[in-house]
Structure 1
Amino acid sequence: MNITEPIFGSMNYSEYIPGHLPLIISIPHGGQLFPPEIPDRKKSHPSVVKSNDLNTQDIGRELADKIMVHFKGKRPYLVINNLGRSKIDVNRSIKEGVEGKDSITLVAWNDYHNFIKTAIKDVETSFGHGLLIDIHGHSHPEHFIEIGYTLSAETLSYSTSQINENPEIYSGSSIQALYNRKSNSIQFTDLIYGKTTSLGGRLQSYGYDTIPSHIHKHPLKDEKYFRGGYCVQIYGSRYAEHVIDAIQIELPRTLRIGNNEKRSNFILTLSESIAWFLREYYG
C-alpha cells in the first residue's frame, strides 16, 4: 500500500491526502468540528443549508481505501473539509459559504479550494486528464443515488436523440472533456445513462436505484434531483480549457444512516464501479 501522510490546512479545518491516480475525491459537507469561536452561518441567502451530510466523510475515506485495493495500493487524491456545515459551506461561493468577513472561515474556505486546485494541477501534470468525484448526501423521499453532471432534470428528460444532437448539452456538462476524447466511439447519452457505459448504469446493474441510469434516465415530475453544485460546476470540464471532469454523487439516507453492513456493502460496490469507470475512460 502507498501510505501518504495527510496535509492539513489552518487549524486542521481542511485536509489533503495526495494520491497516485487520476482521481480526486472531495468531501465538503461531512465535517465534525464546530468551534464555538466561529459563529454559525445565518440565513442571509435563500438557499442556505446548515445541516451536515451525515456519514459522508466516513464513506469518502473508506471509499478511497477500497479503491486502493483495485489499483494495487495506489490511492486517489482526497480533499476533506473538517468544519461543520453550520460554520462553513465550501460547496458554495465564498460569498455564500462564509458568513460575514470572519478571517478564520475565509482561510478555511481558501485552504479547501487550494487543496482541490493543487490536486487538479498534479493530476493534469501526471496524467493529462482525470476525474473529480464530489461526495454528498440527500434526504429526498425517492432514495435514489443521484449522479450530477450539471445537467438539469429538464435536460435529462429530453429524448436520447435530442440530447445527442444538441452540442450545447454536452458542452454544458461537467464531463465535456471525457466526451470530447471519446466522441468517435460513444454517444453522450451512453456516458450519462448507458447500461454498460455509464457510472449510473453500473450502479443500477448492481441493484442500487440510480438517476440517471438506463432504468431511471431522468427524475419524474415533482421528484427532487441535485444536478451538481458549486465545486462540480467550477472544477468540471464544462469550461473548455479544463481537462478534469467532475461528477457529483448524492447518496440517500438509506445508504448512509443506520445499517453499517448495508453501508459497507454499498461502499464496496461504489469502489468497484468507480474503479471500472476510471479504467474504462481514464486509462
Structure 2
Amino acid sequence: MEQETLEYIDGYRSSCKYHCNGNVNIILSVPHGGSLMPDNVPDRTKEVYIHLLNTNNSFHDAEHCKINVIKDIRTDEFTENVINELNKIGNLKPFIIIGKWHRKKVDFNREILEGTLNNPEAISAYKNYHMNLNDAINQVNHLFGKGLLIDIHGHAQGNYSMIGYMLSSNQLNQNDLSDPSFKTSIESLCESNRNESIRGQTSFGSIFERHELGVAYPSLANPKPGSRVFFHGGYIIQNYSSKINAIQIELPYDIRTGRNKRMNAQNFAQVIVEYMKINNLLVTK
C-alpha cells in the first residue's frame, strides 16, 4: 500500500503543529518537545508564578511551588518516527498535536495560569494547542465512537518507562487495584478487570515490554514502581480522560535518542496497534 505524506498545519505563531485529518482513532500529543523561543514571550519563572498566585489569593508554600521548564529532549522527533511507522502499518494516520515552543515560554501540560503565567502570547499559544487537541478528540469520537489519546513525554529518572493512568505510585504499589476509588484515565477499559487492564497481559506496559522496549511500570513483569520516581499523568490526560481513553507515556532518554531510536519507534508503533486491537479499541476509516 502506498504511503501518504502527512501534512501539518502550523498553530498560533508556530507554537505547535497539528494534523487534523486522521484515518484512525489514535491521537498523539507531544507538549514538551519544542525548541522555539519567541523573543517577546518572557520565560516562565517561579517568582512570577508565586506573585500571580498571591494576587489571586491562592496560598501556596513557596518552597513547594515549582515551575518546570525542562524540555523533553527529542520527544517530537521520536513521535514523528512513530507516526512514520504507523503510516507503514496499513497506512495509519493518527491525529497529531506537537508543541513547538520551548517549555520556558509555555507549558501545554499544565493548567493555564501555571502554563502561561498570564502572558497574552503564551495564552494564545496554549489555547490554540488545546483547541486543536479538543477538536481531535471530538473528531475521533464522532467518526469512530471511541479512541485513545497518548500523551508522550521524556524523563531522566532512570532506564525505565512510566505508563501513566492517573494512578499514583502509592496506588500502584497495592496488591489489588479493584478499589472503586482508584479512578483511571482508561475507565471504559477497566470495567471488567481493573488489575488486568493496568498491569495484566493486555496492559500497555506488558505489551510495551514484549516488544523489547525495556522495563515499564506498571506491567505484568513489573507491576509496582516501588520507591522509584513515577509520573502518573499530568494536566492533559487528567483534563481529557472524561472524553476519551488517555495514557501518559514517559520514555527514558535512551529509547528516544539512542542508536536504536528508529527501531524503538517502530516497536512503539506496533505496541500502540497491538494494544488497541487486543482491547477492541482500534477503528479505521
- Are 2:221 and 1:219 equivalent residues in the alignment? no
- Partners of 1:2 and 1:74 within 8 A in 2: no
- SS for the counterpart of 1:74 is coil
- Are 2:77 and 1:58 equivalent residues in the alignment? yes
Match of 2:145 in 1: 128
Q: Following the alignment from structure 2 to structure 1, what is the Cα–Cα distance between the partners of residues 105 and 155?
A: 19
- SS for the counterpart of 2:69 is coil
Match of 1:252 in 2: 252
Shift of 1:4: 4.2
Deviations 1:142-174 (CA, angstroms, capped at 9, x unpaired): x211000000001111113xx12x2222xx100
Match of 1:158 in 2: 174
Q: Gaps (5+ residues) in structure 2?
A: 51-64
- Are 2:227 and 1:210 equivalent residues in the alignment? no
Residue identity opposite 2:75 in structure 1: T
- Partners of 2:211 and 2:271 within 8 A in 1: no
Q: Following the alignment from structure 2 to structure 1, what is the Cα–Cα distance between the partners of residues 222 and 109?
A: 26
Give the TM-score of the pair, scaled to structure 2: 0.88
Match of 1:84 in 2: 102
Residue identity opposite 1:16 in structure 2: Y
Residue identity opposite 1:149 in structure 2: Y
- Partners of 2:28 and 2:95 within 8 A in 1: yes
Residue identity opposite 1:83 in structure 2: W
- SS for the counterpart of 1:168 is coil
Q: Which moved more, 1:10-19 or 1:148-157?
A: 10-19
Q: Gaps (5+ residues) in structure 1?
A: none
% identity of equivalent residues: 31
Match of 1:168 in 2: 181
Match of 2:66 in 1: 47
- Are 2:58 and 1:23 equivalent residues in the alignment? no
Give the TM-score of the pair, scaled to structure 1: 0.88
Q: Following the alignment from structure 1 to structure 2, what is the Cα–Cα distance between the partners of residues 68 and 256?
A: 19
Residue identity opposite 1:210 in structure 2: A
Q: Following the alignment from structure 1 to structure 2, what is the Cα–Cα distance between the partners of residues 30 and 190?
A: 32
- SS for the counterpart of 1:279 is helix
Q: Following the alignment from structure 1 to structure 2, what is the Cα–Cα distance between the partners of residues 191 and 225?
A: 18
- Partners of 1:64 and 1:75 within 8 A in 2: yes
User: How many residues in Structure 1 have an aligned counterpart in Structure 2?
Assistant: 261
- Partners of 2:185 and 2:245 within 8 A in 1: yes
Match of 2:61 in 1: none
Match of 2:54 in 1: none
Match of 2:274 in 1: 276
Residue identity opposite 1:9 in structure 2: G
Match of 1:232 in 2: 237
Deviations 1:37-59 (CA, angstroms, capped at 9, x unpaired): 21111112523111100000001
- SS for the counterpart of 2:223 is coil
- Partners of 1:10 and 1:107 within 8 A in 2: yes
Deviations 1:167-223 (CA, angstroms, capped at 9, x unpaired): 222xx100012224xx2xxx11111111x31110012223411100112111122x1
Q: Following the alignment from structure 2 to structure 1, what is the Cα–Cα distance between the partners of residues 208 and 100?
A: 28
Q: Following the alignment from structure 1 to structure 2, what is the Cα–Cα distance between the partners of residues 157 and 4?
A: 41
Q: Following the alignment from structure 2 to structure 1, what is the Cα–Cα distance between the partners of residues 13 and 129?
A: 12
CA RMSD of aligned residues (A): 1.4
